[in-house]
Structure 1
């Protein structure tokens, strides 16, 4: 294999830029061991500092300044954790900034020539202090970044100061800029992640300030005592930078560069990059003030992001609490989720939301139902609880061409046994990206041989990016997982209750069918003996009718529990006439009960007459069984706001609060404690409420004037269900 074929991005990523063995020539470097003797030096140290450098030279001879020696001695005690500290000294009559820091058990003293007077530095320090105080007043991140760019350029005099904000893929957008009028602005352009290799990002994180005073400099070598190895210059202010980066800056026409890292939550969040067309070396004190400004800016950004995250966390917690409450109250799990669909969409940050359970589907957003079902079919039934997709290529091949723009997916599997999914969808983020030059690097023979050379052109290059959606942020995924945990716990609790209810239903059904079957059996025996035929025939008819009603309820319940829903066949129904027929039948069947109808006029609705009759019969039966003997059952029919309201009332004590909470839940046996109604399965009101819901209406309960009142509300508008 030729050397050309071995060159790749790893060549840039693996370059040991923290141990170059070279420094920039605008300063000198001395290295001291724990015995405070000289263990390393730059080749220009003797000429710049005027001291005879040699291995083992004592500290007192190497550094004449007592203040600088005190910094070295203080740093020796904690050389591993000693951060850069500065003092001003004189070297051969010239002002020099001495910066001392620790590196691997050694103490590094760097001497940087200063070109500004002490008065100038003091004036800039006052400006920097005022800027640091003012940055806190800005409330938005973009405003803070623009303010910082303006202030750093005012303090340092660079031709261009840009504020980058890095994306999830480490590419960076220029979101703020301060530039001299003669230069073309870069605001709004994006730069690829490959412009800053991984090891450079690490250095930007641990050393937040870096200066290249003159990109055309000739590096100066550093000599180290034998056996010590190369010096770690991660915190060095004079460290020579990668030749690849220097070539990159030359391609941009940059003569001097300075960067200030914006580290948020331990990660390189952004960067303030300064460029100058010629050489430029702001004093270390001025640069340090800019670095402090950057750190204050990063702290304010972190505070803003933390506040936004806290607000989002509180929003999610509130939704979880209300959703769990709804899940415990509502009988229909999917309906309970639908009641919070807008809040779910907001928390999951998806313009479209799909809710499914056992074949039933609810769609929120601009997604056709056919596409929604295709999306759900692409999810593995036994897969992970949380599934994410951000690019079209991550979808199964048979679905990619059908999903249209909806390439982003966050799916929560809240009920694996019944294919229960909460799915947030995001459209592709179609962007016209203004790259600062074509982002790809090219293979070329540079000063170091064949390698990937940095981009040579920085003219704006426009690209349209498709087929990718913005990924969900880590805190959003965490919130989704917490929400999923709450829903799953509620679902498991419901499953346990349903299983217990199924066992109760079997026991109830066996008990409730035993009486009519025994009656029929006894009547048949008597009939065989030819006695009391008419009375026994009526008894057989009543018992078989009761069995039929019980079996019908069980079949309805089975359809509802299985997710099939109730069959409803709509047609015009005169509601008053329907009530009159039902009340006539009730008076004949139960002559001891008085029924009073209050219906001023006819009301026509679109409904299934058999199902509406089932609801009315159930309410009349309950009123008869639970009402005070001798008191009438009152039925009232009214029209209100486009709805028909049917109220059935009976005189009785109010329903206990504990029972009221589960009135419309299946399998309750309120009648077990009532001497006149021990024969119900406890599912009549549940089925009635489902019938009303299938018609676009509802059933409610209240207690007034000594009467238990159940009200059925049904839409009058044709086609409302």
Structure 2
């Protein structure tokens, strides 16, 4: 046996238990013996009690088949040979078998661990008659647990009663693990002299992470005698510790032994309840004295736990299916209303109460920009505070969920209490469009099985966080928590968000198609009538100018000018609509560039603006001439729009400036034309959307009530079509729009 100095003790913290290597303890329990063989049958590990318990030694580095134990016992030799064949992949592992020797009866159980065949000999004390009786009881228990039941706790309570009757333990408890890995006793059968533990909670630290992993790998675990000394494993020098994860005799962590001793337990057995490869719960059996349950009975208990897990899974699956059907029906109704409604916000508000019920929420908030709908008793002011926080902190399009909002936003806790659970679906955060489910604080009094915190005190492994010494009832009131959002809640919310987004996309596509058709129709059907109205207005104006001395003629002339001005404005709007229709139909703007004088084009536009708006002052800083290859009508459209914008939004009494700079700081091959006006800086959120179509900031603008929000978008598309760019900067005190085009004679380049 290899020996070494004890390593330095780790620092005292809650990770001691999680780091303890309980799968490689280097020892087994004393009610059996163990030997591990390699593929050649050579003994690599053997328990120190092997010879005493079985009557023959199993020397290290020797072939077990040549030992006195196996060589003279044909049934055992056959078992070992079959086990080695399984290790070589030539057969299945032998089933557990009975074997008698050295005056004892044994259950012989084999498993494979990291390329080794591990053979365990467990002492059997029960008679054949006792085991037959156990089998009958086990069969009856299985039949009872197979019967359909709607209540999971009822199933667990029945299981504890049947397993106690089958095994004779003083106490059998059914744990159900919660989302935080703490366990709650939801079923119990116990002897009359014991206090009930039903309803008590045990912290997650009582079953560390690596212990939970072993409960999955080895679903039944017996500790026959808590106080019995362990039996060390002998191994060759340099051998790593033997992995005993699947061993039935694996020794017990000293920390767990101390834990059981603090509870006054003399023997224990645990059976895992596994659902979807997850440790869902645990059956814990305690006896106040040593107790060894026969291996065959334990296997029957393991099968019972599997039947119990299948029955629980059936109940959970049925509940989930029913809920999913209800949610699917609700989503279908909502999507139909949203898709066919003119107002998505109103459609969602109609279903707010049903949505709250579907996710077991105490309130629902629907928001869209300044519009707000609250279902539940949350004040609107509180809802707006929460929405402001979500908008400021939750970027992106992911669902946000918490059941401890005061922890996530402590600065808002006084305002938001008692609302602690938030499940927020970002429908369109840029527009302030959210669907938020809320749950109130759930004051919870937890009946802990002893105070959950561990104490630092000297233990068998030195100073560390030791297992809890008291398991008396200890109550704790938990605040600032709501019922947590389950995986099903989060899945349902994500499905709802996905379908709402798909419906939004479908509505947008439908509206875009209808809008494009409408724009094309308006552009086609209105252009000719407007042209006729404009011609009639010009004739009216000319006829009245010939008779200028007549007061009535003067009034008619002013009327003609107004008609012509209005029809001109309408023609410009129609032209924008036509351009928008072409752009959204991906037909392009049909640019026809030719050689023009850019300075002459700008001067002509300024003359037209001075004539139409004599009170507007325009100044320029332009060279005498500047040749360029552009579509003159389209570029006139760009600069006319920029000059008009500067006139509308500039401070009164300050001129609009037009400048042309040959060469650019970023690119000498470009010319930059600037249109400047004195004004405050444009807000960032407006500037970000400035060149988008139908932007909300253009609708209802007090300085340009007739705008559609298309001018800058079309100007940007025209500039891009010429291989140029258009942008905005602020040069105190001027708002500056810059159009950059290829310089005359420069090789054309791609648009930026």
TM-score, normalised relative to structure 1: 0.70
Match for residue 745 of structure 2?
none
Distance 2:245 2:77 in 1: 22
Match for residue 92 of structure 1?
102
Do 2:405 and 2:422's aligned partners in 1 also have CA atoms closer than 8 Å? no
What do residues 466-525 of structure 1 show as CA deviations (whole Å, max 9, x unaligned)? 111222222321221122111112223333444555666667777669858966984896
1:325-404 equivalences in 2 (<5 Å): 325-380=336-391, 382-404=395-417
- For the pair 1:126 / 2:133, whether they are aligned, the reply is no
Cα distance change, pair 154–445 in 1 and its aligned pair in 2 (3 A): same
What do residues 317-360 of structure 1 show as CA deviations (whole Å, max 9, x unaligned)? 33333322222211110112123223322333322111111211
Q: Pick from 16, 20, 44 the counterpart of residue 21 of structure 2.
A: 16
Cα distance change, pair 20–471 in 1 and its aligned pair in 2 (3 A): same
Match for residue 62 of structure 1?
69
Q: Pick from 298, 304, 315 the counterpart of residue 326 of structure 2.
A: 315
Do 1:437 and 1:461's aligned partners in 2 also have CA atoms closer than 8 Å? yes
What do residues 146-198 of structure 1 show as CA deviations (whole Å, max 9, x unaligned)? 11100110011000000000000000000000001110000000000000111
Do 1:80 and 1:103's aligned partners in 2 also have CA atoms closer than 8 Å? no
How far the C-alpha of 1:256 sits from its partner, in A, is 0.7
Match for residue 431 of structure 2?
418
Cα distance change, pair 425–78 in 1 and its aligned pair in 2 (3 A): farther
Distance 1:204 1:83 in 2: 22
- Segments of structure 2 that go 5 or more residues without pairing to the other structure are 1-7, 574-752
- For the pair 1:241 / 2:241, whether they are aligned, the reply is no
Distance 1:33 1:281 in 2: 30
What SS is found at the alignment partner of 1:260?
A: strand
Match for residue 612 of structure 1?
none
Q: Pick from 467, 473, 478 the counterpart of residue 486 of structure 2.
A: 473
- For the pair 1:72 / 2:77, whether they are aligned, the reply is no
Match for residue 434 of structure 1?
447
What SS is found at the alignment partner of 2:416?
A: coil
Match for residue 51 of structure 2?
46
Distance 1:513 1:13 in 2: 79
Distance 1:347 1:167 in 2: 22
Match for residue 213 of structure 2?
202
Greater mean deviation of Cα atoms: 81-90 or 94-103: 81-90
Distance 1:428 1:96 in 2: 57
1:155-166 equivalences in 2 (<5 Å): 155-166=166-177
Do 1:71 and 1:100's aligned partners in 2 also have CA atoms closer than 8 Å? no
Greater mean deviation of Cα atoms: 26-35 or 391-400: 391-400
What SS is found at the alignment partner of 1:48?
A: helix
- For the pair 1:154 / 2:165, whether they are aligned, the reply is yes
- For the pair 1:103 / 2:113, whether they are aligned, the reply is yes
How far the C-alpha of 1:201 sits from its partner, in A, is 0.7
Cα distance change, pair 68–358 in 1 and its aligned pair in 2 (3 A): farther
What SS is found at the alignment partner of 1:402?
A: helix
- For the pair 1:214 / 2:222, whether they are aligned, the reply is no
Distance 2:279 2:53 in 1: 36
What SS is found at the alignment partner of 1:201?
A: helix
Do 1:38 and 1:62's aligned partners in 2 also have CA atoms closer than 8 Å? no
1:434-473 equivalences in 2 (<5 Å): 434-473=447-486
How far the C-alpha of 1:377 sits from its partner, in A, is 1.1
Match for residue 624 of structure 2?
none
Distance 1:422 1:319 in 2: 15
1:661-680 equivalences in 2 (<5 Å): none
1:153-302 equivalences in 2 (<5 Å): 153-302=164-313
What do residues 196-255 of structure 1 show as CA deviations (whole Å, max 9, x unaligned)? 111111111110111111111111111123343211111111111101100110100101
Distance 2:220 2:321 in 1: 31
What SS is found at the alignment partner of 1:487?
A: helix
How far the C-alpha of 1:367 sits from its partner, in A, is 1.1
Distance 2:95 2:347 in 1: 62
Distance 2:252 2:88 in 1: 23
Distance 1:192 1:372 in 2: 35
What do residues 637-671 of structure 1 show as CA deviations (whole Å, max 9, x unaligned)? xxxxxxxxxxxxxxxxxxxxxxxxxxxxxxxxxxx
Do 2:39 and 2:88's aligned partners in 1 also have CA atoms closer than 8 Å? no
How far the C-alpha of 1:12 sits from its partner, in A, is 1.1
What do residues 391-448 of structure 1 show as CA deviations (whole Å, max 9, x unaligned)? 1344334322111111111101112332211101111221000000000011111111
Distance 2:30 2:64 in 1: 24
How far the C-alpha of 1:266 sits from its partner, in A, is 1.1
Distance 2:38 2:47 in 1: 15
Distance 1:240 1:180 in 2: 27
What do residues 365-389 of structure 1 show as CA deviations (whole Å, max 9, x unaligned)? 1211111111111112643431112
Q: Pick from 463, 482, 503 the counterpart of residue 490 of structure 1.
A: 503
Distance 1:393 1:339 in 2: 30
1:577-656 equivalences in 2 (<5 Å): none
Cα distance change, pair 380–201 in 1 and its aligned pair in 2 (3 A): same
Do 1:161 and 1:177's aligned partners in 2 also have CA atoms closer than 8 Å? yes
Match for residue 31 of structure 2?
26
Cα RMSD, aligned residues only: 3.2
What do residues 77-122 of structure 1 show as CA deviations (whole Å, max 9, x unaligned)? 3439977841111122322111111111111111111121111011
Distance 1:341 1:65 in 2: 77
TM-score, normalised relative to structure 2: 0.67
